[in-house]
Structure 1
Amino acid sequence: MYGDRHTSEYIKGMHDFLEVAEANKKNGFMCCPCPKCGNTKSYSDRKILHTHLLYKGFMPHYNVWTRHREIGVMMEDGEEEEDDDNYVPPEYGDAATAEAAEDQEELDDEPDDVPDDDDLRRVIVDARMQCKSQKEKLKFDRMLEDHKKGLYPNCEDGNTKLSTVLELLQWKAENAVPDKGFEKLLKILKKKLPKDNELPDSTCAAKKVVCPLGLEVQKIHACPNDCILYHSAYKDLNACPVCGALRYKIRRDDPGDVDGEPRRKRVPAKVMWYASIIPRLKRLFRNKEHAKLMRWHSEDRKKDGKLRAPADGSQWRKIERKYWNEFAGDPRNVWKNVYVGHRRFLPTNHQCRKKVKHFKGEADHRKKPAIRTGDHVLAIVNDLHVIFGKGPGGLAVPKDTEGRAPMWTKKSIFWDLPYLKDLEVRSSIDTMHVTKNLVKLCAFLNAISQKEKGRRKKKKKKEREKNKGRICDEEGRRT
């Protein structure tokens, strides 16, 4: 329904929506969810909504029609079985297993009197000791068993199930092999190996073997209209306090909980995958070469007054002077720098301002903006009142008198950091305070997209099988 407006699928979805809106009028009026109206304007005539939606489409993120009496997302057939807590996004799993393999190589540099099979085992045992739950410990126990288990019966060359899978996944990550191609390779290798071998026959199964060695991922339920995260104060709610959309998907013909039977697992309407930066930093510092590079800004950087890296800038020196004891004195603390629209800070006649090839085909002739102090910006955003979400109850910052969008649409959570108002470049913050790893976020979005495609394919396959069955029944009656 949110795709190309010229397709029959969009037209059908739009008409389905209009039927729902017509049946659930409020005082004879219907809210219009086009991008311009944004559910803030209502009309009594269905034709007006039809015209707006046909020419402008639907507003983004309005996935549950809470302004039109819909309360939640319907569950697809067989979706409960697919809700797998052990699912590993493809790109994220590749990065994690590649880094785990590098940790293994780091251990290989130890003296030769340490048996070969103790290196990987030491990594697993150390990780198991840090587990907080029995469920996590059982996963590492299974890995230890796979580490002892030969790749095939009577395997005498030292190849175990775990070491082989880890080596193959590292090769996959280093050569950017797609999941589909890697799975074909696994099937070929499995046929070539002796009978009853332990090699996984799918990419998903291979990643599950080394899953505990990957980086931590936290899955947080979210409102389908992006109003809130069911976290902290909202963690025990079953419906969004802003738009009213249900937290969990609605089962078709749901009989409810039945006495004497185990409670059925509920599937969240929307899930946010959160990849914390802290485990990744720990993984980097566990490798000697990576740890040395992470401390380069303090230990190996040339300090001759020339500007070569962010650590040579005036802001870095300012933070070092003011927060030496709290932060800057430890060389392991690092900063993240983001440069957006940086060409406007160049001299007005600089040649890079005119170049378009590497800047999305656009030149940049804007003037250098006036420098705002942290106290000035904080005073502007401090009183902004925003209620997130596209459903009823959502409240955005209004446009100014000339119809221009506001410069700030919310007060960022980063203003809670005590040093933010002292920064000259407020996009340069302590990496430990960065709550989004953008590269991995893209990987998660791609993984979720791939999972949704798989569900749609299964649904279409079931429909084809049903239609095929009806045709066979009709032919049987005719004969």
Structure 2
Amino acid sequence: MDKEWMSKNRLSHEYEVGVESFLKFAMRNATDPNEIACPCSRCGNLKLKDVDTIRAHLCCNGIDLTYHKWIWHGERSTIDNSMNYSDQVGRDEQKTFAEDPFDMVHAAYDSYAENPNQFHKLLEDAEKPLFPGCTKFTKLSALVKLYNLKSKYSWSDKSFTDLLSLFGEMLPDDNELPSSLYDAKKSLCSLGMNYVKIHACPNDCILYRKEYEGFFNCPICRMSRWKLGKNSTINEGVPAKVLWYFPPIPRFQRLFRNKEICKELTWHADKRISDGHLRHPADAPAWKVVDHKWPDFAAEPRNLRLALSADGINPHRLMSSAYSCWPVVMITYNLPPWLCMKRNFMMLTLLISGPKQPGNDIDVYLAPLIDDLKKLWDIGVEAYDACQEESFSLRAVLLWTINDFPAYGNLSGCVVKGYHACPVCGEETCSTRLKHSRKMSYTGHRRFLPPSHPYRRQKKAFNGNQELNPAPKPLTGHEILDRVERINYRPGKVSGKCQMQHGDKISCWKKKFIFFELEYLKHLHVRHVLDVMHIEKNVCESLVGTLLDIPGKSKDGVAARLDLVEMNLRTDLAPKMGDKRNFLPASCYTLSKAEKR
């Protein structure tokens, strides 16, 4: 059946004829003409309507452009409906679902691999000057800048359409700027800037994909898939929580279709200076482990080395944790150091909606990405090299994740607070609960000094004892995997708590994190790293504030001195309590002997 009408203007005669042919096709395969899935861009085949309503929706909203295979209307055979859904939101009827929610996205890019000229035609259209003689903006660059402003200043869809219409009137008549938000989205989606919305359980138990695709209630917590309205009524068709997934494989393929970017993707092998200095991750031992362990992977310099970063943000610009949205960003290390961390090459792959942060259940949301990473490692994908004008099998490896310390714990499954908060020391962490400061104190740093270091034998300056114990050795990936294999972890939040069961009592591990599904991860020396920004701000700011005695920034206060008294350490620094003011004796790091308040 001809489907070219789907991309036509909704006011054109071709679109009207196409709508009528689609409705006739749907009527022939419908069991009830009053209950047909509406394929408009708003309903998305989630709501059942009559023919007249669907015709109105298709004219007003337009058809969902990703709906290439009309599986909801009888174009392909249904999935085996042997499952019983009688307990699903009071529904007894059986419905047809796509076997893989990513089929439609991946199919669009498969056509590019078969016909590389198709993508180049789209690229040529995007790189047209905004109007004849324009040298500053192309059609795509102007559209992207405007769309970024829309997101930055929270413009509504209607205001953005009016703005595009106004700009179109200001520019010359033969300009290339889209006249509406609908046309702008068509231009972006045609270049592969697409996403997949996956419904999620509100308690972070499951994603409604694969074996759960047809469920209307979570099989773990029994919560409804749909959003609850007033009086606890179910708004059928409106998901309670959504994961936005931006498949990285098509974007990796698209990088190699640009000749300039394609050259930079082999910079680490062709132009990098190898003189023993650490300038790039390619100079690090973690990169060399991959080269040594898997020489067939290292033999192809176009294979990608990746990092993943995740953290919570507040999209409403408030210094509050009432709403937490988690983006997951992919970084490509094949590029030179002045490009790999630029915004243009940092790929958003997941957007986990709020309002509650996923916490330890973030593995549930990472599952689609892990599936793509396994595919990129095990079999690879076909990509077209624009520089060498040839197709090749593209593979990729995830080197590590980059996070702050709380997110480190969520991704690695390691405890990051309490008595065993050190990921290196584990159960050998030297920790003390401070009574007056009401926080944990982690000591034992002298264990990491050389055995002959003079600080190891000093007593008075530290805790009154010599430190002769050796430094603990970090666990290898195989040792960590052996420990977490014995943990039986069940994702999901019930009454605000994570349900977790341990086969053995392992105090410093919470779960087996999903990255261990990547078979190469246990061989890597480094799996998770802390970002520099938090270390600079939090640690260095506290050190400088304490050394310079900056009011409000120093950690040397009355509570800290009282804790020293409680531990019977440095009694000469005990605070002198007065009726109106408290005085603290000068510390050994100060330049003045005067007492401070």
The higher-RCO structure (CA 8 Å, 6+ apart) is 1
Greater share of helix residues, 1 or 2? 1
Which TM-score band (shorter chain)?
A: 0.3 to 0.5
Q: Under a length normalisation based on structure 1, what TM-score does the superposition of the two structures give?
A: 0.44
